[in-house]
Chains A and B, each alone.
Chain A
């Protein structure tokens, strides 16, 4: 069975990180399941068609159209549908970004296909594709399979590994002519995230997050100070966001942002599964919490049992001393 990788975004000739990951995953799956890896280069990703071959696609179908300029999900679903019609029965992999969450259900509906969202893994087991996703706020994992021949998987960022690109790898690139209607939802304004000179949460090498245990909005200033000191960004748990202590754009978790920094410092965060689901892939996890029984210590690599009001000032002072800052 063929595997279709839906691609959008990217920077010029390079496919986006999400597309590179999906191509790597698709290539590995195709070795077991047989069939071709077909890339769908949609909208601005058209320029990355050759790049998609280099990262593992056997064939790339381009759909470019003015309706795809604004990341309109209806237009993208229609464009992806055109490519899927050419691919026959297939497993369709969709990047798990915000656009993907909107496109995948629309595409699945049009293909009358089973869709599993938020896949952490897609495996070939017993002659079919098996998709693993977190459920019940991350407290459990479910393995699902589609009963339909064509099936769609929305794959979470970093769930699959990209391959090393092979320059000059052979593959067909073909542009499809399509007629797409302009979207019914009109873009009025784009508000960029205020990162206050800091790095974006998703890209930050260090994330310092606060939760319910902080007790109010003021302590987040201390977290900001640490983040600035180490070139990181400030995150928060759902509880802190719900309490109105910090804006939702900082929320890390299953319903917030997924992060995987080199260092994640969780301050006053109990470690609800919902939160852990968004940060458990971090390389080093530090937890600071008064409660030695807090579930966050089960995922932490380094733990400090104590009151953050005592721990953090001393931590900052010592860090400044060592760094000579």
Chain B
């Protein structure tokens, strides 16, 4: 069983709205002092992959498209339990939207040993396009199952749960396939032990440029992007909150009930 997990290094999404700033020239978030982390759903995807390997054996390859800094994200994935790590150097790549990202990741996955399963997070936690999983399925000609909280091997294929409109659906997909992972109680990412972090620092990271993946400017240059960012702004929120008065919590609670009835919302 060979599982490829596509991850993205993003600005820590837990940064408070007050500390969040925009760089108007780059039309991107100003990193400020915020740390770089693996996208939250990508961490869930890594956890799902590692659990699957623990149950059935095999290997996990973590891939990312990023700068040299993204090696930190790959080291984290290795410390969690991934076996190999691949960095696609973004220096020669203009991936401003997901179609370019998916094209690059698909080319890198084709270069790996044959995969049984490709996992992504359901969305990055940054620009949240939420497209890479489905686009990888298109690029690789594989079936796709989105919004997967858990999955397991079933015969020659896989049995996956997926969140659907109005409930959860259980499906069977052949291998290889692509799945995008959503958060669940049983895929909370593990915290690597210090020993594993030290080990991960000694593991090699394979680095590819677009040329080695057979991709030229037409595929990964600026012109390849199908979207253009016109503006990025922080929406103004004007507070109109009316605070309920009261001596203590209990009085406020009773006053709240009266207020809601008075306003006819209950």
Contact = CB atoms under 8 A, between A and B. Distances in A.
Contacts of B22: 140
Interface in A272-314: 272-274, 283-284, 286-288, 295, 297-314
Interface stretch (A37-45, A46-54, A93-101): A93-101
Interface stretch (A23-31, A60-68, A167-175, A187-195): A187-195
A273 B18 CA distance: 11
A192 B167 contact: yes
Interface string B209-234: 00000000000000001111111111
Nearest to A262: B265
Given A298-B239, A302-B259, A114 B167 contact: no
Could you say which interface size class chain A belongs to? Answer: 35 or more
A69 B185 CA distance: 32
Interface string B39-60: 0010000000000000000000
Nearest to A120: B235
Given A98-B147, A98-B163, A139-B20, A314 B135 contact: no
B20 A101 contact: no
Nearest to B18: A295
B32 to A, nearest CB: 12
Interface in A118-151: 118, 130, 133-137, 139-148
Contacts of A295: 16-17
Contacts of B261: 319, 322
Interface-centre pick from A98, A104, A140 (highest chain B CB count, 10 A): A140
Given A98-B163, A101-B130, A144-B230, A311 B138 contact: no
Interface in B109-147: 122-123, 125-131, 133-135, 137-139, 143-147
A313 B17 CA distance: 32
B232 A307 contact: no
Given A140-B22, A309-B249, A118 B128 contact: yes
B25 interface: no
Q: Is the interface of A mostly helix, strand, loop or mixed?
A: mixed
B165 A136 contact: no
Contacts of A155: none
Contacts of A248: 149, 163, 182-185
A105 interface: yes
Nearest to B258: A318
B207 interface: no
B241 interface: yes
B227 A114 contact: yes
B199 interface: no
A295 B188 CA distance: 26
B229 A306 contact: no
A146 B226 contact: yes
A279 B261 CA distance: 21
Contacts of A113: 226
Given A130-B230, A191-B168, A319 B134 contact: no
Contacts of B147: 98, 101
B258 to A, nearest CB: 7
B252 A242 contact: no
Nearest to B154: A188
B170 A148 contact: no
B252 to A, nearest CB: 5
A13 interface: no
A110 to B, nearest CB: 7
Nearest to A311: B253
A144 B250 contact: no
Nearest to A290: B249
Contacts of B243: 302-305
B227 A143 contact: no
A117 B98 CA distance: 11
B227 A304 contact: no
B159 A135 contact: no
A127 B15 CA distance: 37
B29 to A, nearest CB: 6
Contacts of A116: 129, 227
A178 interface: no
Contacts of A284: 260, 263, 265
B164 interface: yes
Contact of B183 (A142, A238, A272, A314): A238
12 contacts: A114-B226, A115-B226, A133-B128, A146-B226, A148-B226, A185-B145, A185-B171, A188-B170, A190-B167, A298-B241, A299-B239, A319-B261
Given A101-B146, A110-B138, 16 more contacts: A105-B138, A118-B130, A135-B128, A137-B125, A140-B233, A142-B27, A189-B169, A242-B188, A248-B149, A248-B182, A254-B128, A255-B122, A274-B13, A297-B239, A303-B241, A319-B260
